[in-house]
Every structure is written in structure tokens, then in C-alpha cells.
Structure 1
Amino acid sequence: MEKFQLSLLFKIIGIGSASGLIYQDETLYIISDNSSYLYEYEIKNTKLNRHSLSENAQENIPKAFKPDFEAITKHADSLYLFGSGSTENRNSMVQVDSKTKEVIKTQDLTDLYLTMQSFAKIAPEDFNIEGVIYNGESWFFFNRGNGKTGKNVVFTVEGKNLVNEFQIISNEFKLPKIKGVRTSFTDAILVEDKIYFLASAENSNSTYDDGEVLGSIIGRIDVKKMKIDFTQKISDTHKFEGLTLYKKSSNEIEFLLCEDNDTEVLEADVYQLKLKI
């Protein structure tokens, strides 16, 4: 698979450091890694709504204090937002009613994240959840291997809840390099029985500090085999951190992507990616 088309679709003013998005019914739900709002963007009338995820919600929260929401997934009538787990104050999961946009519950996933680290032998400083998928039965968590050990791991979690009754399976993936730097997971979604994922190369060995962006790839994993079907470089300059399904036909699939600009500028670029299948 080599034929793709990437283009800037639109710019949203009012969102900075976009880190995940979901498209549904001409609406985009977007999270930012330095904000405690859920953003709802109505595409047809270009209207942006903000929904508080906590008391005294803020934008451009200082790095040391931000909840670092890096992953968003949807199932039934709920949206689930996840902190990256890269520091102790980034371990929250927030469940939001997708109809009312009200917070249903907030959970502390510290025990789950610590178990993941122990299970896959990932040091706390190398732990960084950037994507989550929920299909109603299983959860898939994607650890971005941008720490010193470079562990790109997919955790499959099953159980009654994510707090104290769960079972974990882990699969580690060796992703391709861009300009000599290994790419690492930045988001993922489930389309039928395939996982499509984004991964970026950033010239830094830290899950906390940003580095020079060297580009991004898209790839696909067979869920049953947990093997990569293909990878394709889609940019030499962008760090794409959000992926959602836009359209699908018999021979083409379209995604919407968002980019983390790593600045305090409240602008979010949304790109359209077309792939031949």
C-alpha cells in the first residue's frame, strides 16, 4: 500500500496542542494534552463548544500540572478520555456522556498503569499511553516508545473494570525509523477487525520533553494475529497525534488527523488522509 493523499482540510481556532479526535455525524470531538476541556466542533457551521471535564477547567495548563489527555475512544453513548500516565498526575480516565456532554465518572488508573509497567517491564519514565481503543469487550492501550528503551507496546485489557478487576496481555512492536529515529505510537483506532495506527519520530529520548519532529507514519495491525500488515510514511514534518475514521469504500479509506503543535497557540489543523485499500 503506497498510494495516499494528505491534505489540510480545515483549521480550528480555539484549540491548542490537539492530541486526539473522534468524528461522528459531522461533529468532531477533540482533546488537547494541555487542557481540561472536551471540545466539540460542529463542522457545517464551524461552531466550537467547550465542555468542562473538571471544576475550574483551564486551557494552556502548565506542563507540570496538566492532566495530559492523550487518548480518546468512543463506545455506545460514552466517550472515554485518558491521561498518558507519564507522570503521577496524569493517570485519570474520564467517561463523558456523548449526548449530554456531562461527565459520568472520573477514575484513577494508577494501579492499572503500574501493572502495565510491571507486566511489560517498562520503566515509569518510559511509560506514555497515547492511544486507547474500546470495542465493548476489550480495551487496547498503546504505549508510545519514545523513552530511552523505545518500547512500543499494545496492552490488551479485559475484565469487569479498569480499576481492580482486569487481565492484561502485552504485545511489543518494532516500528520503522525515519531519518534514523524509531517511530512510536501516537494514536490508534479500530476499523472492523483491523487496527490503524499513527506513529511519529521525534528526536528525543524523553516521554516528557519534546524534540525535533522528523515525520509520521500510518500502519495497520491484524487484531487476531497482532501482527503489522503494513506501514506507510505520510509526512516528513508533521507529528500527527490524533486519528479517526472519516469515510470508507470498497477501495479507499479516509481518515481525519490532528497535529500537536507543541505550542500555546490555540489553533488546531485537521488533515484528511486518503489511502487505497
Structure 2
Amino acid sequence: MNISIENIQTIVDFPSGSGVAYINNKIYAIGDDSPYLYVINSDFKLDKKILLYEENQENFKGNRIKKKRKMDFETLEVISEKELVIFGSGSKSPQRDMFFRVLLDKNIIVEKYSISDFYDLIRNSDLLKNEELNIEATAFANGFLYLFNRSNNVIIKVFYQNFLESLKTQEKPNLSYVRVPLPSIEGVEAGFSGATILRDQTFVFTASVEATDDAYNDGEIMGSLIGLLDFSDFEKPKVLKFRNISNLEKNLKVESVAVISTSAKDSELVLITDDDQGNTELIKVKISE
């Protein structure tokens, strides 16, 4: 698997990029300490910002929401050309137990939900009851939503319509879980940071390593990788290929990935990075399988 970097662009006035999606020549992106959904054109220029929720000005430091107050948006995924979903990480309850549904009609509709009950189901599961919850990625495929927990690389699978219904009925949706061993960087197993569907039964994912012992605090960035994950058998997912993402100047903390185009030979992707100092870069890459 080869990877080539085609374009790198810092996005001005966009702090702490954490999630990215691609629909109809537009890039949608979120930051973990920002209340906005950013809309970026194909030239990597900011077109507009969509306010997801109101935050008191006293809770900001510059253009970033203070760490103890932020909802910690970490995942952004496309459901359809008219629908995006955003999840908080769940790493601090209840303020990070949040779900946003964005309907991209002429008049944009933003639905906001507290999902502490849903996250508590996950926290109390066999694979996670002794681990920290830190949802870093979501992927949507064949009607199912897949949530990727970073701390021990567990994927949670839920039928999307059942999840939506549970927000209104309080009925518990059926969940399936699996742990996926990932490659290591400098001897440390990488943790999921982003994922999306590449093609039928295959996810493209990003993972990274930080020198930190918990889900709340940031640490030194040790590197990131990109890979392909076969989930045709959910109980036995398999990492097909992977490659470290290198940058001669610094180790990159890649937070998420979106697919621009894909073919049998190669795929064009956009990555979003965060240096934990409030800066965001978008990187266009091509991977050849």
C-alpha cells in the first residue's frame, strides 16, 4: 500500500480539527473545541460556518472552548447527501455524551440529543466496562452505524434507525461489539482516530499514538497510520493493509478521513489533523493498493 501527499493546507480560524466528511465537492469538518460545522470548498478554502449550538463567550479562550466545557466532537459521518451525524467522545460524562444530527436542506436543521443512556450501555459492556470510553470515529454502511472506541480499539455496531428510535422511546437498541488489534507505532498499539466506508465491506481508517495514559488529556504526538479494514465478518474483522503517514517536518496526529473518490487501483482521500495547539490542517492524499 503506497500513500502520496498531494496537498496540505492550514485552515485559518478553524481550531482543533477532529472530524471530516465529503459530499458533492464540499468538505464538512468539525473541531473538538468548536461549536461550528465548517464547510470548505475543493480548494481547501473556508466557505461558511454552521452554528451547531450556542456557547457562552465566557467559556471560550480565544476561538476555542475551554477544555472542561467542550463537548469534544470527535466524529463526523455521512448518512446521505442530506444528512450528517456528529458524536461527542463520551470521555467525560455528561457534557461529552452528545449526538447531533444535521439535515442539509435549504434550511439547515440541527437536532441535538443527550445520549448518556446510550453511552452507559457501551460503558457497561463486557469489552469496555474496565476501559475508558472515547469514541473517536463513526462509519455508516448498509444501514448500520459503527462507532470506534480509541482506548482499546473496540467497534460498536448498531442499526441506525433503531438508534434514532431509541432517542425518542428510551428503548435500548441492540449493540454488537468486537475488538480489533491494530499495528504499533514505536512499540505502542495505535488507537482508532477516524474511519469511513471505502467500498462494500471495507473501511478506510486512521489511527494514531499519543504519549498519554488516559482519554481526557493530550500527549506528545508519536505518529499516525492509515489502513484498510475488512468487516465482511463483523465478529472477525481483519486489517488488510496499512501504512504509516509520514511528514518530514513533524509527526502528524491524523484525526479523521473522508473519501473523495475511489477505484480498483487507488483512492483519493482527505485527512484532517490536529496538533493539540489549536491548529487544523487538511491533507489530500492518494493511496494505491
Residue 275 of structure 1 deviates from its aligned partner by 1.2
Equivalent position SS for 2:175: strand
Structure 1 spans left out of the alignment, 5+ residues: 146-150
What is the letter of the counterpart of residue 130 of structure 1? E
1:119 aligns with 2:133: no
After superposition, the C-alpha distances for 1:19-47 in whole angstroms (9 at most, x for unaligned) are 01112222110100001111111234834
Residue 198 of structure 1 deviates from its aligned partner by 0.4
Q: Is the 8 A contact 2:38 2:46 kept in 1?
A: no
Q: How does 1:4-43 map to 2 (within 5 A)?
A: 4-43=3-42
Question: Which residue of structure 2 aligns with residue 269 of structure 1?
Answer: 281
Q: Given the two structures, how large is their TM-score scaled by the length of structure 2?
A: 0.87
Q: How does 1:1-277 map to 2 (within 5 A)?
A: 1=1, 3-44=2-43, 46-56=45-55, 59-76=63-80, 77-88=82-93, 89-100=95-106, 102-123=108-129, 126-135=132-141, 137-145=143-151, 151-158=152-159, 160-162=162-164, 163=167, 164-193=171-200, 194-225=202-233, 226-235=237-246, 237-264=251-278, 267-277=279-289
Question: Which deviates more, 171-180 or 94-103?
Answer: 94-103
Closer, same or farther in 2 for the Cα pair 1:118/1:48, shift >3 Å?
same
After superposition, the C-alpha distances for 1:163-191 in whole angstroms (9 at most, x for unaligned) are 33411110101112111222000010012
Q: Is the 8 A contact 2:11 2:44 kept in 1?
A: no
Q: Is the 8 A contact 2:127 2:177 kept in 1?
A: no
Closer, same or farther in 2 for the Cα pair 1:23/1:101, shift >3 Å?
farther
Structure 2 spans left out of the alignment, 5+ residues: none
Whole-angstrom distance in 1 between the partners of 2:41 and 2:179 = 37
Percent identity of equivalent pairs: 28
Residue 9 of structure 1 deviates from its aligned partner by 3.0
Q: Is the 8 A contact 2:138 2:194 kept in 1?
A: yes
Residue 55 of structure 1 deviates from its aligned partner by 2.4
Q: Given the two structures, how large is their TM-score scaled by the length of structure 1?
A: 0.90
Whole-angstrom distance in 2 between the partners of 1:204 and 1:256 = 26
Question: Which deviates more, 162-171 or 195-204?
Answer: 162-171
What is the letter of the counterpart of residue 227 of structure 1? K
Whole-angstrom distance in 2 between the partners of 1:15 and 1:127 = 26
Residue 124 of structure 1 deviates from its aligned partner by 7.5
Equivalent position SS for 2:123: helix
Equivalent position SS for 1:122: coil
Whole-angstrom distance in 2 between the partners of 1:52 and 1:21 = 16
Whole-angstrom distance in 2 between the partners of 1:125 and 1:63 = 21
Q: Is the 8 A contact 2:9 2:44 kept in 1?
A: no
Q: Is the 8 A contact 1:53 1:103 kept in 2?
A: no
What is the letter of the counterpart of residue 262 of structure 2? K
What is the letter of the counterpart of residue 243 of structure 1? V
What is the letter of the counterpart of residue 102 of structure 2? V
Equivalent position SS for 1:246: strand
Residue 135 of structure 1 deviates from its aligned partner by 3.0
After superposition, the C-alpha distances for 1:213-263 in whole angstroms (9 at most, x for unaligned) are 111111111121222212221237101002000222331111100101211
Q: CA RMSD in A?
A: 2.0
Question: Which deviates more, 111-120 or 186-195?
Answer: 111-120
What is the letter of the counterpart of residue 184 of structure 1? G
Whole-angstrom distance in 2 between the partners of 1:9 and 1:45 = 9
Residue 125 of structure 1 deviates from its aligned partner by 6.4
